[in-house]
Amino acid sequence: MELSSKEDVDAPIAEVFEAISDFASFERSAIRRGVEVQRLSEESTPQPGLAWDICAEFRGKPRELRVELASYEPTTLISLTGESDSLTGNGRIELLALSPRRTRIAVTVKVQAKTLSGRLLLQSLKLARSKVKRRFKLRVAEFASLTEDRLSRTV
């Protein structure tokens, strides 16, 4: 299953990239939402190999996931891979400078099943594909809006 969305942000590409690569902020945000997040290295600078163990409840069951930073190209790309017992996936966040003060964020997530239970989970998501896509696009739009607001306050 693949989900993708694009949003434009009124901020320079370097500032947007700095905001989306602030992994400590995302860790704190997830913890506030009840997700258990454990960074697997003490490295503070983002670089490929940086990884997290994540445990969150989804559909009434605790789900464990390992997420790793697969690719990190300053100002243009962040690529993550994730793996659980039943699913594997990857996500890409690409930035494109539309002008000196405007940036496009393109987010793509691909998820594949590894086991029968993973196939069943993905099949239930595919049955609700339009709702899942709509919620994904809404989340990306909210993220872009929050990023834009945060950057406009710091200027």
Q: Output the pTM of the full model.
A: 0.84
Q: pLDDT tens for residues 9-67?
A: 998 999 899 888 888 888 888 899 888 999 888 777 788 888 999 998 877 888 899 99
- Tell me which amino acid residue 67 is: V
Structure-block tokens of residue 23: 């992994």
Task: Please tell me the total count of domains within the chain.
Answer: 1
Q: pLDDT tens for residues 60-106?
A: 888 899 999 999 998 899 999 999 989 999 999 999 999 999 999 99
Per the structure, the complete domain to which residue 69 belongs is given by: 2-154
Report the alpha-carbon distance of residue 84 to residue 117 in Å, rounded: 11
Are the beta carbons of 98 and 6 closer than 8 angstroms? Answer: no
CATH of the domain at 117: 3.30.530.20
Q: Is the dihedral of CA 20, 23, 24, 29 positive or negative?
A: positive
What 3-state DSSP class applies to 125?
helix
Query: 151 falls in which pLDDT band (50, 70, 90)?
Result: confident
> How far is residue 108 from each of residues 2, 5, 16, 60, measured CA to CA in Å?
7, 7, 17, 26
The pLDDT of residue 97 is 93
